[in-house]
Chain A
């Protein structure tokens, strides 16, 4: 299968900042086409299909899976499974997939969520096993931070909270909050963040 995403010049930048830029770009595309209609048949499509369109080179005119399959002369189910497998190999796409899953747990197209990757890319740090988790949903700014503070204080020193925060300000705000408070941001893979409570 020829994936246009593979030829995107930005994929050549393997640095952490390059990865962060790709993730931001993918999330922006998902936001941009929230509630849009298929560029081909005019029907509705889900966020997973936006991501699949991006992979196949239809970033600016997403299509539903049946129309994507027709465009590349493939069976929709087979094509969907193949693109899912491809997404597992790209950390930036997998983040986008997880975001779509959080936003749309009941996918109208019932597209299957890929299993977790078997092996992370060598450069990707391993996510620590959290002692507590919190899905903060769409909350942001002061509302998010006050609740986060309460939850961090409920942990023992050095324990880790995994927070899922969909707010678009979270990628900037949660690292800043950690710098201000002294808690350690162990890993950030928007929308997931692992924060270790400071000692004391």
Chain B
């Protein structure tokens, strides 16, 4: 069952529940042989920074860092919205493994041909 799957995440510490569930679903997609992308935008871009997710632990779920590490190990990709990243003056040298700063065209390209996308 090849194909692509996108999870769009617009939250970080402001909504640890949504941030965590987004990566749970992304891991489910990666584990189901989907080429999986997590697109971080608005507040979600903060998760692209190493160490930021270390203290996010939502009751009933694995720690977010563990979920994100597993996602990277499973070959998942993380796209980071460039203008959202710049607006928050985050550090390009401190990106988590698998993260790439992109603009809209890269996301549009990934979502071509009817690729499904779920938003948190």
Contact = CB atoms under 8 A, between A and B. Distances in A.
Interface string B76-109: 0000011101100001110000001111111011
A6 interface: no
Contacts of B101: 168-169, 172
Contacts of B103: 140-142, 144-145, 167, 169-170, 172-173
Nearest to B85: A168
Interface stretch (A24-32, A80-88, A120-128): A24-32
Interface in A7-47: 27-29, 31-32
Contact of A142 (B91, B93, B104): B104
Contact of A29 (B81, B93, B109): B93
Nearest to B41: A141
For chain B, what secondary structure do more than half of its interface residues adopt (helix, strand, loop), or is it mixed? helix
Contact of A173 (B85, B92, B102, B112): B102
B105 A173 contact: yes
A100 to B, nearest CB: 16
A141 B92 contact: no
For chain A, what secondary structure do more than half of its interface residues adopt (helix, strand, loop), or is it mixed? helix
A58 interface: no
- B interface residue count range (under 10 / 10 to 19 / 20 to 34 / 35 or more): 10 to 19
B109 A145 contact: no
A136 to B, nearest CB: 11
Contacts of A142: 103-104
Nearest to A148: B105
Which of A31, A141, A142, A176 has the most chain B CB within a 10 Å cutoff? A141
A141 B83 contact: yes
Nearest to B82: A169
B91 A174 contact: no
Interface in B22-51: none
Given A141-B81, A179-B109, A180-B109, A31 B92 contact: yes
A176 B93 contact: no
A168 B86 contact: yes
B10 to A, nearest CB: 15
B37 to A, nearest CB: 12
A138 interface: yes
Which of A27, A174, A176, A177 has the most chain B CB within a 10 Å cutoff? A176
Given A168-B82, A173-B82, A32 B91 contact: yes
Interface string B103-120: 111101100100000000
Contacts of A144: 103
Contacts of A176: 102, 105-106, 108-109
Interface of B: 81-83, 85-86, 91-93, 100-106, 108-109, 112
Given A168-B82, A170-B103, A176-B108, 7 more contacts: A27-B92, A28-B92, A31-B91, A140-B86, A141-B104, A168-B92, A180-B105
